[in-house]
Amino acid sequence: MRSRVELPWRRRLPAPAWALAAAVVLLLLALNFGALGAVFWRAEPGAAVFRPADWAALRFTLVQAALSALISVVLAIPVARALARRRFAGRRALVVLLGAPFILPTLVAVAGILAVFGRNGLVNQALAWAELPGFSIYGLQGVLLAHVFFNLPLATRLILQGWSRVPAEHLRLAASLGFGPAAMWRHIEGPMLRQVVPGALAVVFLICLTSFAVALTLGGGPRATTLELAIYQAFRFDFDLGRAALLALVQAALGIAALLALASFTLPAMAMTGLDRTAPPPPGGLARWVDVASITLVALFLLVPLGMVVLRGAPHLASLPAPVWAATLQSLKVAGLSVVLLALFTGALAMAALWSRWGQMLEGVGMSALLASPMVIGTGLFIIAFPLINPARLALPVTALVNAAMALPFALRAILPALRRAEADHARLSTSLGLGLGAHLRLVLWPRLRRPAGFALGLGAALSMGDLGVIVLFAQTGGETLPMQLHRLMGAYRTQDAAGAALLLLALSLAAFVVLERLIGGKEPHHAGT
Amino acid sequence: MRNPTLAAGLFAASMTATAFGTSAAQADDTPVLTVYTYDSFVSSWGPGPGITEAFEAICDCELNLVGAGDGAALLARLQLEGTRTEADVVLGLDTNLTARALETGLFAPHGIEADLDLPIAWDDPNFLPFDWGWFAFVHDRTRTPAPPANFRELIDSDLSVVIQDPRSSTPGLGLLMWVKAAYGDEAAEIWEGLAPRILTVTAGWSEAYGLFLDGEADLVLSYTTSPAYHLIAEDDDSKAAAPFEEGHYMQIEVAGIVAETDQPELARQFMAFMLTEDFQSVIPTTNWMYPAVTPQDGLPEGFETLHRPETSLLFSADEAAALRDTALDEWRDALAR
């Protein structure tokens, strides 16, 4: 796909699809650069300066994001391997549940984490009972713990995809050649990981780059100031838009640098053809125990905090006040619209990336939402919209649009590899059979894209439901969405109702994910893995 | 109460309310008064619903309350919108923000002679208080039976405190002013002493209060009125505010008329209504603050149990504005070590 040679089986994108893709690209560019430009334009004239405290924020942002990415991905490798090669009852449910922390709104997740690792949490209670010294979550360790909690599931999913793309034939061949673990690593696992790990590192790094509420709360104070918090301060505390925009540029530059650095390590994803036969039985012995331990530990780490959210919320679920239900409806609307937009964006960009010469560039644009500062996007859009229309009327479309743009990088990561592989495997045959574009899409590509598409749209719906909890911001921009109402309950001292609402949000996010994944992805996976 | 929100609620405001509101207004020419305020004021559990009903009963107008984050976000939003703002009245700034608000040139004098029940004299021609409170460290009597009696005792204790970030939260900024008002040039030293006691700093009030209720911290920066919520709404008398000998810094929440308003009459009517019984009697048990004018029947039962500091600390708006950046640097230097 990197080749520029005109190949006879390479299709051309019809004009309407081109127009759609171009519109999506323009919209995304407008969203990112337009918003940033608007903030600069509206800023008071005068040089915005980078203060000494900003260097500290830059350093902390870099350190926490890099460590979060590294730890998440390193831990994800054994988990993904275990999940890829073991089959056990409840595996599919476990894979779905393990994805939950990523789609969880920040507030809910932090409550769950603290219930386990906080000063008064299960771990410290157990330590006190055993008369061992307590453990403090507040500090860099807490920030990393929370970020790993959020992103380990995502990293696991991304790496699991890599594993599931290893054709069964390779594994059978390896087994018949009598490969030991070292040979497996050298010839099969290592090269595969070099294809997926840099991408996974980049995604987690970018997500953590814009973190601020989690970093501040668990970081224990102003030493845990991230760039995003500095942007927030410039806007809210100093109303210095020039500074806010400057800091946002620095933040984006950091993200781009990380992307470029990691891209240079990445092996190009080679088409590995296979017939999707069943894989040979997984190795036993020590490997088996490593796999069991990996799955058990990660399940405990991710599911116990979720269990605490359920435990605390369940008694208050039935008695939730009426405005919470109204907000639920609003959240469903936002999520619904967001999924439609996401499907449109992903479809247009993925096809254009596949069949045009600018594939890499288009993919880059699709990923760009992760580079932008949520605070600056929000402010910039407001500056653009305000003279034209009452911003409150735009709450639903704008929230849905931004949610879709923010979920787009994950959707593209899920769809594009599958699309490229399907095209590499079947394009020649399809062309030689004289299939038109419509038939090619319907008969050849769609059956192979259903599963990743279901995953991508389910993820989009869930992220939108919690308003992409990890990157705090657009939670406030909707009409009263559920996360917003949850925040208001907490702001009105109603912690018990808030616990109930948190559980409702958790359940809805998960349900949205599962329903869409099943509905679009179909019931039975045609191939193991994601 | 003080708004918890992490993000400026730029597009906030209940969409449905606004959508229906404007269409209804267009249909029968009822004038609309738009009031920007903080999120927790408009929330279903805040004063918003009761106050809207009471004002619309007398004004022959429609009251459109728009939630825009917290106090600081509110001002930032107004600055973004500038003279083209839809807002007629802004409600929910505090005295740490009014100097900056006035500097924008977006506010007009309210022209109202008011008889207020505040511990201090009030003569600001531009902003009018609607409620007030004292900042305090709230504790649980069962967990912390003997709370510290001043900042130095707190420094010497082994208690853990959770506070809010002054850069993102109005109580957080209030604490900065509290320490500055009580200790002046020694403020930096106090913050250095406090640093080990501070478990963590949250972006907003609600995260901090939530951590305290979950037992993560022994004390939380909140208000002397916070225990009233637990007493009145939950029948729980275990929460109390620790009386501090230095005195307690005040938060006075104010409203102001936007100079560019197209409804000057209605705006003034609203400001006057703000100090009447119908508005003020809603405040204590929805905003959990002291009303600016005590209602005829007095405060709700339970408020008499609250600690009323003998010394009230407060900087004038200009002093607060002048001290802000130094105080923030002292705070950050001490806590970022």
- State whether B243 and B264 are in the same domain: no
Looking at residue A258, its pLDDT comes to: 85
What value does the mean pLDDT take over residues A204-212? 86
Output A297 or A42, whichever has higher pLDDT: A297
Residue B239 DSSP code:
E
Output A528 or B326, whichever has higher pLDDT: B326
Please judge whether A236 and B11 are an interchain contact, meaning their C-beta atoms are less than 8 angstroms apart.
Answer: no
What value does the mean pLDDT take over residues B180-197? 95
CA atoms within 13 A on the CB side of A482: 33
User: How much helix, strand and coil, in percent to the nearest 5, is found in chain B?
Assistant: 40, 20, 40
- State whether B204 and B86 are in the same domain: no
The residues near B332 (Cβ < 8 Å, ≥ 6 apart) are: A53, A222
What value does the mean pLDDT take over residues A243-272? 78
Looking at residue A100, its pLDDT comes to: 82
Collapsed DSSP state (helix, strand, coil) of residue B163: strand
Q: Nearest-CA neighbor of B13 among A312, A391, A358, A157? A: A391
- pLDDT band with cut points at 50, 70 and 90 for residue A270: low
Question: Domain residues of chain A, as ranges?
Answer: 11-42+319-530, 47-307
pLDDT in tens, B126-166: 999 999 999 999 999 999 999 999 999 999 999 999 999 99
| Cβ–Cβ under 8 Å, residues A67 and A141 | no
Shared fold status for A11-42+319-530 and A47-307 = yes
Tokens of A460: 């989009």
* CA gap B138, B151 in Å, rounded: 14
Looking at residue A75, its pLDDT comes to: 95
Please judge whether B336 and A217 are an interchain contact, meaning their C-beta atoms are less than 8 angstroms apart.
Answer: no
Residue A387 DSSP code:
T
Mean pLDDT of chain B: 89
Looking at residue A266, its pLDDT comes to: 67
What value does the mean pLDDT take over residues A391-410? 80
Q: What one-character-per-residue DSSP string does A8-54 give?
A: TTPPPPPHHHHHHHHHHHHHHHIIIIIHHHHHHHHSPSS-----HHH
Per-residue pLDDT for B245 more than 80?
yes
Residue B328 lies in a domain: yes
Per-residue pLDDT for A525 more than 70?
no
Output A58 or A478, whichever has higher pLDDT: A58
pTM of the predicted model, to two decimals? 0.86
Architecture of domain A47-307: Orthogonal Bundle (1.10)
Q: Which fold has domain A11-42+319-530?
A: MetI-like fold (1.10.3720)
Per-residue pLDDT for B15 more than 70?
no
Query: Does the CB of A429 have a partner CB in chain B at under 8 Å?
Result: no
Output A442 or B140, whichever has higher pLDDT: B140
Looking at residue B9, its pLDDT comes to: 40
Residue B290 lies in a domain: yes
Per-residue pLDDT for A273 more than 70?
no
Structural domain count, chain B? 2
Please judge whether A473 and B84 are an interchain contact, meaning their C-beta atoms are less than 8 angstroms apart.
Answer: no
Looking at residue A473, its pLDDT comes to: 37
Nearest CA in chain B to A491: B206
* CA gap A77, A196 in Å, rounded: 11
Per-residue pLDDT for A501 more than 50?
yes
Residue B278 lies in a domain: yes
Q: Nearest-CA neighbor of B258 among B95, B19, B79, B122? A: B79
What value does the mean pLDDT take over residues A224-241? 85
Per-residue pLDDT for A264 more than 70?
yes
Looking at residue B44, its pLDDT comes to: 85
Judging contacts by C-beta atoms under 8 Å, the chain A residues touching residue B205 are 491
Q: Which domain holds residue B186?
A: 134-249+308-335
Torsion of CA A174, A180, A181, A186, to 10 degrees: -60
* CA gap A324, A504 in Å, rounded: 9
Mean pLDDT of chain A: 82
Residue B127 lies in a domain: yes
Which of A1-5, A100-104, A175-179, A251-255 is predicted most confidently? A251-255
Judging contacts by C-beta atoms under 8 Å, the chain A residues touching residue B43 are 485, 488, 491-492
* CA gap A74, A66 in Å, rounded: 12
Per-residue pLDDT for B273 more than 90?
yes
State the nearest Cα–Cα gap between A213 and chain B, in angstroms: 6
pLDDT in tens, B74-133: 888 888 888 888 899 999 999 999 999 999 999 999 999 888 999 999 989 999 999 999
Per-residue pLDDT for A444 more than 80?
no
Output A316 or B4, whichever has higher pLDDT: A316
Residue B5 lies in a domain: no
Q: If contacts are CB pairs under 8 Å, which of residues 486-505 in chain A contact chain B?
A: 487-495, 498
* CA gap A401, A334 in Å, rounded: 9
Output B21 or B269, whichever has higher pLDDT: B269
- pLDDT band with cut points at 50, 70 and 90 for residue B171: very high
- State whether B209 and B163 are in the same domain: yes
Torsion of CA A495, A496, A499, A505, to 10 degrees: -100
Looking at residue A267, its pLDDT comes to: 62
Please judge whether B69 and A476 are an interchain contact, meaning their C-beta atoms are less than 8 angstroms apart.
Answer: yes
- State whether B106 and B138 are in the same domain: no
- pLDDT band with cut points at 50, 70 and 90 for residue A436: confident
What value does the mean pLDDT take over residues B6-18? 38
Check if the interface score ipTM surpasses 0.85: no
CATH number for the domain harbouring residue B39: 3.40.190.10
Point out the residue among B66, B229, B335 whose CB comes nearest to the CB of A222: B335
Residue B141 lies in a domain: yes
Q: Is the dihedral of CA B74, B77, B79, B85 positive or negative?
A: negative
- State whether B103 and B162 are in the same domain: no
Looking at residue A6, its pLDDT comes to: 57
State the nearest Cα–Cα gap between A296 and chain B, in angstroms: 28
Point out the residue among B11, B76, B199 whose CB comes nearest to the CB of A398: B11
State the nearest Cα–Cα gap between B3 and chain A, in angstroms: 6
| Cβ–Cβ under 8 Å, residues A310 and A499 | no
Judging contacts by C-beta atoms under 8 Å, the chain A residues touching residue B195 are 221
Point out the residue among A107, A477, A498 whose CB comes nearest to the CB of B12: A477
Per-residue pLDDT for A348 more than 50?
yes
Output A392 or B288, whichever has higher pLDDT: B288
* CA gap A156, A83 in Å, rounded: 9
What value does the mean pLDDT take over residues A351-367? 77
pLDDT in tens, A279-320: 667 777 888 898 999 999 999 999 999 999 999 999 999 889
* CA gap A139, A152 in Å, rounded: 20
Judging contacts by C-beta atoms under 8 Å, the chain B residues touching residue A53 are 332
- pLDDT band with cut points at 50, 70 and 90 for residue B24: very low
Per-residue pLDDT for B191 more than 90?
yes
Looking at residue A527, its pLDDT comes to: 44
Tokens of A84: 């890829």
- pLDDT band with cut points at 50, 70 and 90 for residue B8: very low
Looking at residue A8, its pLDDT comes to: 64
- State whether B295 and B187 are in the same domain: no
Please judge whether A217 and B200 are an interchain contact, meaning their C-beta atoms are less than 8 angstroms apart.
Answer: yes
- pLDDT band with cut points at 50, 70 and 90 for residue A135: confident
Looking at residue A467, its pLDDT comes to: 66
